[in-house]
Structure 1
Amino acid sequence: MFEIFKQKTKKNILALGTSFVLSACTVGPNFEPDHMKLPENWKEHKATPEEIERTNKEMISWWSLFHDPLLDQLVKRAVEGNYNLQIAGQRILAAKAMRDRYTAEWYPQGEVVTSGGVDRFSTSLGNWPIAGYPSTYPFMAYGPNVTWQLDVFGRIRREVEAQEDVIGQNIEARRSVMVTILAELASDYMLLRSTQLQLKIADDNIRVAQDNVNLVSKLYQKGVGNTLQIAQANSELHAQLGAREPLKTRISQVTHAIDVLLGQMPGTSEDMLKIAGPMPVVPELPATLPTIVVANRPDIRQAERRYAEAMARIGVAVSNMYPNFTLPLSFQPQFSAFHQFFNASSFFWQFILSISTPIMQGGKLTAEVQSAQAEAEATRLAYRQTILTAFKEVEDAFAAWNDDEEREKFLRRSSEDSQLASDRAKKLYKAGLTGYLEVLTTQRTALSAQNAHVLSRLERLQDAVRLYSALGAGWRGIALTSTELPINTTEQNILAKAFTQ
């Protein structure tokens, strides 16, 4: 009779648990993307369909548009060796592992318990000792304990959903790191080439200044010049020599920065990078639409994933207000002597449905829901702010591109005209038709104009880098690195091959 009752009880509990699982519902709001009204075109540049098609192809490997093989090589090495990029990859692995940890809560959780020792009861109670029962006795027990939490109201589902969004955030964070690294590397490389060109201009001006010293000295020996002109020529030569040193320092510092971006010790690539080369060419103006930028920029995509995670956290907070259903299963033989090890009377087991319902929490659970709702609204607003910031960066980059293009044209003409004026002043001085002060003035003007032109060319190159970075270019086409932790979990536990932990 008792066995029949036990079998019916187990069937009823199983049926009750199954019905709860089948009727389970997920509480809390579901995530819906926030739709922000976007302009149809950029204010600074209205893109044509042809430009959009071209740019979409170029954004995958935009650095190749500068037609510099060394820059292409540096990008490849940075993608493979940059430590910040590897750190971001490990955070993705960590987030995926946490997702698996929350997913495991869907399944029964079991452990094997073994205990033994001596129990002693208090003998100071009024009715103790009871005849035939000693106050101390040996105790041993072993067996599995299994707990299965039924996800009736979706708490576990919401936790897993939130962690999936955390994975998405870490993926987008790695892509943001990729965009930043590419922009820094390209910008440093442009600075290196422009500084090397400035150093060449400085060397040319030192030779000119030395020629002037020689010329003034010869004229003085012929009785045409004077000591003032010799002093002025020497002063200009020493000034040119002094201006060269900061340029050498900047070249060293930039090469060190590039090495760090490549994930290697500063100075490793110094011999290769210090070989002067031509400045890269400025590519065509990239153009796209606002909607494409929203879909492409990693920071915007990451902000959206934060919003999705916050919405899932609301569901977790709401589910805590509902009953919690648990199926505990215990099977533990308990005995005092080894000869009772397999006796039927030693076996103890328990299989019940446990339901815990919060009733008196003093407003704690309601406050948690309200906090989660406020946090979700904050992340939604942060998502919108991220879009505004991104659009500002793109519009600024378009404006700088157009303005710096015109500025570079004017400064190029200024450099050419000032060099012509310097050459003419030197010829007139040799002929005795003008003073040495005119020669110095025109040479200084020519040097200043040449440096200004080089800096304007650098600004145009960096405008291109900034615009591609603002468009979120560079991460598409580069797969996520597949890295593994150095610890092999199967070697840490002899039971790992038999049980998944």
Structure 2
Amino acid sequence: MRRPLPILALAAALAACAPVGPDYHPPRPALPAAFDGRVAAKAARPTPLAGWWQGFHDPLLNRLAAMTLAGNLDLQIAGQRLEAARADRDAVAAAEQPSLGLGADYANERSSTLLTWPPGVGQYKTWDAGLQGSWEIDIFGGTRRAIEAADAESGMAEEDVNAAKVAVLGELVADYTLLRSDQHRLDIAHRNIAAQTDSLALTRRALKAGLGTEVDVARAEAAVKLSSAQVPVLEGGVQRLAHAIAVLTGQPPESLTAALYGQGGHDLMAPPLPAALPSDLLRNRPDIRRAERRIAAATARVGVATADLFPTFEIPLGIGPVTSNLANLFNIDSLVWTLGLSARQSVLDGGKRDARVRAAQAVSEADRLLYRRTVLGALREVEDRLTGIDTERRRHAFLVTAVEDDRIAFTQASRLYGAGLTDFLKVLDAERALSQAEDALAVSEAGEVLDIVGLYRAFGGGWQRPAAS
């Protein structure tokens, strides 16, 4: 039994050889030193990306975020796919270990007694049982490269989970922002309807006093109805957004309606702008991290294809009793064993293995280009969000002034009409302008918040764990 030891020692030494194929080196893309734009320059204080929605200081939003992380079905699906990827990796890694199995056979046979060689013995029985095993020696590293690829693919699945967190949390906060904005716009619409109802009463009094006309009354009634027609649209939007938020948390659409309606529309306090550098995207964006893992997997696949060009070596093993009498099955004299070394090499395959190497190399290069495209897309997304915030803030400043001016114009027009010094058309025009300006201001405020939410999402915020206190 000492003779097999040199075979096992040689196999262990050969298995320790460096694997063939290219070694992986992470890409180092060229990045700008900072983001462009005035908004980026103002975001001087670093802001953690973990739990960024807490910057709204809204307890209900915080609770909804926790419910989403716990119950969102997309996150659960991504989590199960991650478990599957890890299991696949373990299955690939099992090829490094020897395989061993148990077997037992019984045969009742008869050989010809008329043969000269080998001489026939007539009818006989055979009982055998034992262990059968094999170990493929990974001399050229095909198995090790396959494990590297499986590790990288498991990392890709993990980044899919992170990307799902970024997406669902960003969608939740965006939907919540729009819901509160629509509720705020509903408040504005109801105030405008109340003001227009007062104007309608004023035109009716003026008509009775002989100072107004039926045309003024009709116009005032039309204004009330036109504003009232906006209410069902906004209410429907609020309801649909409440349904969307509930589904994001993994609950039936109507389950959160009472909670979301119970808290009326209010101005959202947007979180501070995140201060980050372009290089931070490489660490935080799940799509970039996933693209990097994809390159690692493709590089390892080149090694797998390259190793297939070389011979394969295997150590077969068999040990167990063989006897014609069941009573002798456990007799030491019935024991047989086999231990050897086998090698196989394909000589002619029509260039198939070489083609697989070229295909793996092309896929690896394509994944490197995909990584570059992903990085550029991420930079563009951040810059677009910064531009959107700057644009909306400047628009917001004009709208604030417009609302103030329209409110003054409406107040003065109402006083002049009450004194009989102007017609109702000026009141109606001023009232309509004020209503439109207030609604536009509410939309602009929500737009700025949505751009900030989009900026956090563009930075890849939401999947990180909070830093330890």
TM-score, structure 2 normalization: 0.93
Matches within 5 A, 1:69-148: 69-119=59-109, 133-134=121-122, 137-148=124-135
Q: Identify the match of residue 33 of structure 2 among 40, 61, 76.
A: 40
Structure 1 window deviating more from structure 2 (240-249 vs 11-20): it is 11-20
Q: Is the 8 A contact 2:56 2:268 kept in 1?
A: yes
Q: Identify the match of residue 463 of structure 1 among 437, 451, 456.
A: 451
Matches within 5 A, 1:294-443: 294-344=282-332, 346-443=334-431
Shift of 1:334: 3.1
- Match for 2:18: what amino acid? C
Q: Is the 8 A contact 1:28 1:316 kept in 2?
A: yes
Q: Deviations over 1:38-64 (max 9, x none)?
A: 11122225966x955x32x43222212
Q: Distance in 2 between matches of 1:256 and 1:302?
A: 31
Q: Which residue in the other structure is 2:136 paired with?
A: 149
Q: Distance in 1 between matches of 2:110 and 2:405?
A: 106
Matches within 5 A, 1:137-286: 137-274=124-261, 275-286=263-274
Q: Distance in 2 between matches of 1:428 and 1:118?
A: 118
Q: Is the 8 A contact 1:190 1:279 kept in 2?
A: no
Q: Describe the SS at the equivalent of 2:164.
A: helix
Q: Distance in 2 between matches of 1:389 and 1:235?
A: 49
Q: Distance in 2 between matches of 1:428 and 1:145?
A: 105
Q: Is the 8 A contact 1:47 1:289 kept in 2?
A: no
Q: Is the 8 A contact 1:188 1:258 kept in 2?
A: yes
Q: Which residue in the other structure is 1:487 paired with?
A: none
Q: Which residue in the other structure is 1:10 paired with?
A: 4
Shift of 1:103: 1.9
User: Residue 177 and residue 349 in structure 1: after superposition, are their counterparts in 2 closer, same or farther (change >3 A)?
Assistant: same
Q: Is the 8 A contact 1:149 1:327 kept in 2?
A: yes
Structure 1 window deviating more from structure 2 (13-22 vs 189-198): it is 13-22
Matches within 5 A, 1:443-482: 443-477=431-465
Gaps of 5+ in 2: none
Q: Is the 8 A contact 1:115 1:140 kept in 2?
A: yes
Q: Which residue in the other structure is 2:22 paired with?
A: 29
TM-score, structure 1 normalization: 0.87
Q: Distance in 2 between matches of 1:236 and 1:128?
A: 116
Shift of 1:285: 3.2
Structure 1 window deviating more from structure 2 (239-248 vs 65-74): it is 65-74
Shift of 1:131: 7.2
Shift of 1:8: 6.3
Shift of 1:214: 2.1
Q: Distance in 2 between matches of 1:99 and 1:336?
A: 45
Q: Distance in 1 between matches of 2:376 and 2:293?
A: 17
Q: Describe the SS at the equivalent of 2:318.
A: strand
Q: Distance in 1 between matches of 2:12 and 2:216?
A: 103
Q: Deviations over 1:198-221 (max 9, x none)?
A: 101111122122222222222222
User: Residue 322 and residue 434 in structure 1: after superposition, are their counterparts in 2 closer, same or farther (change >3 A)?
Assistant: same
- Match for 2:370: what amino acid? A
Q: Deviations over 1:232-278 (max 9, x none)?
A: 22222222221110100000000111111111111111111112142
Q: Is the 8 A contact 1:59 1:473 kept in 2?
A: yes
Q: Is the 8 A contact 2:51 2:466 kept in 1?
A: no
Q: Distance in 2 between matches of 1:393 and 1:458?
A: 19
- Match for 2:247: what amino acid? V
CA RMSD, aligned part only? 2.4
Q: Distance in 2 between matches of 1:309 and 1:132?
A: 58
Q: Distance in 1 between matches of 2:416 and 2:107?
A: 111
Q: Distance in 2 between matches of 1:107 and 1:247?
A: 64
Aligned sequence identity (%): 36
User: Residue 445 and residue 126 in structure 1: after superposition, are their counterparts in 2 closer, same or farther (change >3 A)?
Assistant: farther
- Match for 2:193: what amino acid? I
Gaps of 5+ in 1: 1-6, 480-501
Q: Distance in 1 between matches of 2:277 and 2:13?
A: 52
Q: Is the 8 A contact 1:17 1:353 kept in 2?
A: no
Shift of 1:126: 9.6
Shift of 1:91: 2.1
Q: Is the 8 A contact 2:22 2:303 kept in 1?
A: yes
Q: Is the 8 A contact 2:40 2:386 kept in 1?
A: no
